[in-house]
């Protein structure tokens, strides 16, 4: 029977039986989530890399003893969060990263044919919007920034996974998300002087 990549319980059971393809399916499904948890805790590159790698090594070691295979995403989020808290407590490793430093918004310049000009214009507008949203994110209170950074993972995490990633009650995720997205819109509007697009 082929393993269904959308059925995480099946992927866990496959990997527990030694199936490398199933393991790869788990990594593809949850890689973005584990990385987002590290980033939500504002870990710099080297520390985020340690958290990410340690979390996956732990899952590989424990794969045959996962109590709820269909909830392995929450298991990973919890493990990653614990690694983040350890990392933040190690002396000398507490300098936060600023994702803003990673922005590269240099406009693309190409041949000045009309199409290229229009394309470059569009690209610049997209980049402007991206820069504004990114900056707005950075201005949010820590709790909103953390929540949104985890929600931004690809593919989208479940609320149970988000709750595990941040140590928050499951029932608070929906309302907090709505409030934080509203605050984000307000920050975006503030940066663009109220002249932003509808969303």
Partner 1 sequence: MHNPDDELEEELRRLAASRDPVPAQLHQAAVDAFLWRDIDAEIAELVYDSLLDTDAASLVRGPADQRLVSFAAGGMTIDLEVTSAGPGRTVMGQITPPQRATVDIRHPQDTVTVEADDLGRFRSGPLPRGPASLRLRPPPDAAGPAVITDWIAL
Q: Which residues does 44 contact at the CB level (< 8 Å), separation at least 6?
A: 95, 96, 97
Nearest distance from residue 36's CB to partner 1, in Å?
A: 7
Of 5, 9, 168, which Cα lies nearest the Cα of 77? 168
Place of tokens 């890689």: 31
Q: How far apart are CA 12 and CA 66, in angstroms?
A: 8
Q: Name which of residues 10 to 69 contact partner 1 (CB under 8 A).
A: 15, 18, 20, 23-24, 27, 31-32, 34-36, 39, 46, 49-54, 56-65
Residue 79 CB: number of other CB atoms within 10 A?
20
Give the count of alpha carbons within 13 A of 149, CB side only: 25
| Among 95, 103, 108, 170, interactor with partner 1 by CB under 8 A | 103
> Which residue lies nearer to partner 1 by CB, 92 or 112?
92
> Which residue lies nearer to partner 1 by CB, 61 or 67?
61
> Which residue lies nearer to partner 1 by CB, 78 or 111?
78
Q: How far apart are CA 38 and CA 79, in angstroms?
A: 11
> Which residue lies nearer to partner 1 by CB, 23 or 75?
23
Residues that bind partner 1 (CB under 8 A): 15, 18, 20, 23-24, 27, 31-32, 34-36, 39, 46, 49-54, 56-65, 82-83, 85-87, 89-92, 99, 102-103, 130, 133-134, 137, 148-149, 151-154, 156, 177-178, 181, 184-185, 198-199
């Amino acid at each position: 029977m082929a393993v269904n990549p959308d059925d995480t319980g099946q992927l866990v059971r496959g990997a527990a039986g030694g199936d490398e393809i199933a393991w790869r399916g788990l990594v593809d499904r949850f890689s973005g989530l584990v990385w987002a948890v590290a980033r939500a805790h504002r870990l710099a590159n080297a520390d985020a890399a340690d958290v990410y790698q340690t979390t996956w090594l732990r899952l590989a070691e424990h794969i045959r003893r996962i109590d709820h295979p269909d909830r392995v995403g929450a298991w990973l989020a919890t493990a990653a969060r614990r690694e983040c808290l350890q990392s933040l407590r190690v002396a000398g490793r507490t300098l936060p990263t600023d994702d803003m430093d990673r922005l590269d918004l240099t406009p693309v310049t190409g041949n000045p044919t009309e199409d290229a000009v229009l394309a470059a214009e569009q690209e610049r507008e997209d980049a402007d919007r991206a820069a504004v949203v990114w900056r707005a994110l950075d201005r949010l209170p820590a709790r909103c920034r953390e929540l949104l950074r985890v929600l931004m993972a690809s593919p989208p995490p479940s609320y149970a996974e988000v709750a595990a990633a941040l140590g928050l009650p499951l029932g608070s995720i929906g309302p907090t998300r709505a409030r934080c997205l509203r605050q984000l819109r307000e920050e975006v509007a503030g940066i663009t002087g109220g002249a932003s697009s509808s969303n």
